[in-house]
């Protein structure tokens, strides 16, 4: 497991709404290596978000186990998962999920504050990160004063600020134009190189898929194929 950052075995997720039973995931197995950019590729409703939520400990599988860095997170309690997420997992959502009442600095420093890092230390770390992301001039802006690309970069800054093992991204380019999407992927590549962090990205954007070293093709809750990014784009660009 030394080189494996994330391992999921036989994941099943069933949603029960009244008499309707939906199998969102059906026996999914996944391995993500350290420092890898891994794509989860599939159309809307294929189960990508459900898979990311389970890997990130936001949701529990009906069946199956998930390891992150040798910790079986599917065994952890709700509060243990919260602590685990704070230290080990970063999230980037399609709709950015920044807190609108807080400035860029305040949004990015949230995980550090929750970890008990002092204000001075937080500010130094956040300002350095914002500088690297080219967002320093927006440090005191509120999210609604930023462009979509800038908001997504702030969300990434928040995800990487605690130097987590894994960053999970759900349709990160879903609200970005193609130029911003390309810029974002360049940035992800930079972060991966610098911090050796593992990215698992749920997407159906070819710009993103092309950057992935490997991509799992997900359809109706099942992995149907594993390809490298370029091959996945060529074969499933119309997914």
Q: Which of 17, 20, 79, 238 binds other proteins (CB under 8 A)?
A: 79
Q: Work out whether 186 is an interface residue with other proteins (CB under 8 A).
A: no
Contact (CB, 8 A) for 60 and 80 = no
Contact (CB, 8 A) for 157 and 130 = yes
CB of 87 to other proteins, least distance (A): 7
Q: Work out whether 117 is an interface residue with other proteins (CB under 8 A).
A: yes
| Of residues 91 and 236, the one with the C-beta less far from other proteins | 91
Q: Work out whether 16 is an interface residue with other proteins (CB under 8 A).
A: no
CB of 116 to other proteins, least distance (A): 4
The phi and psi torsions of 219 (rounded to 5 degrees) equal: -145, 130
Local structure of 82: helix, strand or coil: helix
CB of 177 to other proteins, least distance (A): 21
Q: Which of 12, 76, 86, 230 binds other proteins (CB under 8 A)?
A: 86
Could you identify the residue written with the tokens 């929750």?
114
CB of 158 to other proteins, least distance (A): 7
Contacts of 185 (CB under 8 A, 6+ apart): 173, 207, 208, 211
Q: Work out whether 59 is an interface residue with other proteins (CB under 8 A).
A: yes
Q: Work out whether 87 is an interface residue with other proteins (CB under 8 A).
A: yes
Q: Which of 22, 29, 33, 82 binds other proteins (CB under 8 A)?
A: 82
Q: Which of 3, 16, 101, 144 binds other proteins (CB under 8 A)?
A: 101
Helices (H), 66-217: 78-88, 104-115, 119-132, 148-160, 178-195, 206-211
Q: Work out whether 78 is an interface residue with other proteins (CB under 8 A).
A: yes
> CA 203, 167, 184: angle at the middle one, nearest 5?
55
Q: Which of 10, 45, 72, 95 binds other proteins (CB under 8 A)?
A: 95
Q: Work out whether 140 is an interface residue with other proteins (CB under 8 A).
A: no
Torsion angle (degrees, nearest 10) of CA 53, 31, 205, 139: 60
The phi and psi torsions of 78 (rounded to 5 degrees) equal: -55, -50
Distance separating alpha carbons of residues 38 and 66, to the nearest angstrom? 16
**Which residues here bind other proteins, judged by CB under 8 A?**
53, 58-59, 78-79, 82-83, 85-87, 91, 93, 95, 97-101, 110-111, 113-119, 122, 158
């Amino acid at each position: 497991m030394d080189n494996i950052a994330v391992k999921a075995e036989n994941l099943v997720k069933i949603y029960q709404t009244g008499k309707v039973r939906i199998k969102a995931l059906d026996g999914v197995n996944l391995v993500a290596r350290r420092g890898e950019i891994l794509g989860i590729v599939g159309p809307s409703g294929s189960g990508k978000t459900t898979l990311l939520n389970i890997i990130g400990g936001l949701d529990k599988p009906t069946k199956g186990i998930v390891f992150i860095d040798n910790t079986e997170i599917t065994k952890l309690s709700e509060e243990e998962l919260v602590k685990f997420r704070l230290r080990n997992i970063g999230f980037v959502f399609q709709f950015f999920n920044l807190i609108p009442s807080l400035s860029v600095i305040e949004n990015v420093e949230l995980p550090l504050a929750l970890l008990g890092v002092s204000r001075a230390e937080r500010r130094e770390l956040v300002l350095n990160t914002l500088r690297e992301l080219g967002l320093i001039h927006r440090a005191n802006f509120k999210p609604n004063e930023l462009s979509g690309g800038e908001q997504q970069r702030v969300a990434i800054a928040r995800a990487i600020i605690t130097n987590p093992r894994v960053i999970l991204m759900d349709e990160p380019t879903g609200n970005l134009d193609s130029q911003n999407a390309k810029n974002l992927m360049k940035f992800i590549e930079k972060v991966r190189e610098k911090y050796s962090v593992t990215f698992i990205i749920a997407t159906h954007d070819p710009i993103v898929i092309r950057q992935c070293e490997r991509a799992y093709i997900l359809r109706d809750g099942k992995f149907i194929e594993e390809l490298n990014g370029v091959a996945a784009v060529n074969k499933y660009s119309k997914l």
